[in-house]
Amino acid sequence: MANTFKKIQTITVGAGGAASIDFTSIPQTYTDLKIVLSARHTTSETSNDVLATINSSTSNFTARRVYGSGSSAASDTNARVVGMTVGASATASVFGNSEVYFPNYTSSNYKSYSADLVGENNASTAYQILIAGLWSNTAAITSISLAPGSGSFVQYTTATLYGVSNVPAAGNAKATGGIITYDDTYVYHTFPWSGTFTPLSNLTADYLVVAGGGGGGGSQGGGGGAGGLRCTVGATGGGGTLESALSLTATAYTVTVGAGGNGGTSAGSNGSNSVFGSITSTGGGGGGYYGAPNGFAGSSGGSGGGGGNAESGTAGAGGAGTSNQGYAGGAGGVRSGTYPTSGGGGGAGAVGQAGAQSADSADGGIGVATTISGSSTYYAGGGGGWISNVPYTGAGIGGTGGGGNGGNTSGATAGTANTGGGGGGINSTTGGAGGSGIVIVRYAK
């Protein structure tokens, strides 16, 4: 993603000269600031410093300066220096050039800055300087004043202040937020973590919102259910329901990406919800676990967790899925003298496999494939359940779309990050964690 530089203001010194160049009432709508300075001053030095005053303050500046003339180099500390200007003894009509960058100038943190300077003189080697500095103040930057270390700026000294935003320079993006990519038809905003999506004008957008997957159970545990999936692109959506695109206005929309649930030593935890504006996907249900005589059920969620194995009574039921987001988990098995399995977690595209007494069956439900990212990708597969290794040696396989595999006393895996996959179930240890969710927004160029 390329940054966009927008000129806020250019100040050119007139015939009478100027003691300083002052940028006031700096807009607070950009992410960073950049100043480009071409300067000459009235006193006789070949070169001199340009000093910054921020928000009328000359305090709390620290900096490290590295400089050289081509034949030698040195470093020192020199607070407030952000630029270089040449004086009357330099070659006539030559100006010093400087660039200074202020990232995150509106934040409540201290403000770092960097500068790249050269003092030009056609008669001798020019000084070149790099500066790394810090203004130790938590206030947003609203004004910057530049002044030479002595004398005043001469006519034609020029400074331009730019605002820097995260809108790609190609100009195809109609919104900010997330990781922005393109193809010939669409712009894609991918949120692997929480953030804000802000249209620059009204637009219609497709979306994929996947919640965090449920964690797998850890005591002959069922697989975790996949995070709920809501989408507008694909043959079907989560739970077989494909939704309609959203009409959005030029306002900020909160994006929350749900974390996966923890695997348990008994029951797995549910995953967390993911949210895009008015669209909420429900976290996947945690896997159930072993009980005597009856197994413990998997939890309900976007897709339900798999049920736990039972000693002799009733197998743990699979947790219910949310109708437009995912499917139920599979029920666990009942021991009855043999070695059964626990249920697989439900996926966005199918129910989890039920446990059995005489087969290696504990697979997680398959997820859903969508091309909303620009290529066909599966999301929200259920976690595989626990399976006995006497006589069976397999394990419940996670559903396509990031579901983690089940194990026996080892081998369970977590759901894949940013897929909403459920974690695998296991015995006598901790089940696999659910995978975190994801939000993707796309719109036509």
Q: Mean pLDDT lowest for which of 53-62, 169-178, 231-240, 369-378?
A: 169-178
Residue 168, pLDDT score: 47
Task: Provide the whole-model pTM.
Answer: 0.64
What percent of the chain lies above the pLDDT cut of 70?
93
Least confident of 90-104, 260-274, 364-378: 90-104
- What does the pLDDT look like over 235-265, one tens digit per residue? 899 999 999 999 999 999 999 999 999 999 9
In contact, 435 and 212? CB cutoff 8 Å: yes
* Pair of tokens at residue 17: 């000269």
Q: Which of 120, 164, 231 is nearest to 8 (CA)?
A: 164
* H-helix or E-strand spanning residue 240: none
SS (H, E, C) 363-385: CCCCCEEECCCCCCEEECCCCCC
Cα distance between residue 37 and residue 96, in whole Å:
8
Per-residue model confidence as pLDDT tens digits over 311-338: 888 989 999 999 999 999 999 988 766 6
24: helix, coil or strand? coil
pLDDT at 391: 52
Q: What does the alpha-carbon distance between residue 417 and residue 397 come to, in Å, rounded to a whole number? A: 17
Give which of 164, 143, 134, 112 is closest to 11, Cα–Cα. Answer: 143
What residues are paired with 182 via a beta bridge?
A: 187
C-alpha–C-alpha distance, residues 175 and 200, integer Å: 5
Is residue 359 classed as helix, strand or coil in its secondary structure? coil
Distance separating alpha carbons of residues 200 and 244, to the nearest angstrom: 21
What tens digit of pLDDT does each residue of 144-191 get?
999 999 999 999 999 999 988 765 444 578 999 998 888 878 999 999
Residue 341 has pLDDT above 70, yes or no: yes
pLDDT at residue 120 in the model: 72
Region 11-22: what's the mean pLDDT?
Answer: 93
Q: For the domain covering 4-165, report its CATH number.
A: 2.60.120
Condensed to tens digits (0 to 9), the pLDDT of residues 425-443 reads 999 899 999 999 999 999 9
**What is the DSSP-derived secondary structure letter of residue 324?**
T
- Tell me, what's the pLDDT at 3? 55
- The amino acid that residue 23 corresponds to is F
What's the pLDDT score for residue 428? 86
185-208 exposure pattern, b = at least 16 Cβ within 10 A, e = fewer = ebbbbbbeeebebebeeebebbbb
Residue 7 has pLDDT above 90, yes or no: no
Integer Cα distance of 77 and 70 in angstroms:
20
Domain boundary assignment for the chain:
4-165, 171-445
Integer CA distances (angstroms), 367 to 225, 346, 379, 383, 437, in order = 11, 9, 5, 11, 13
The helix, strand and coil proportions of the chain, stated in percent and rounded to the nearest 5, come to 0, 35, 65
Residues 6+ apart with CB under 8 A from 150: 41, 43, 45, 48
Between 61-75, 344-358, 368-382, the lowest mean confidence (pLDDT) is in 61-75
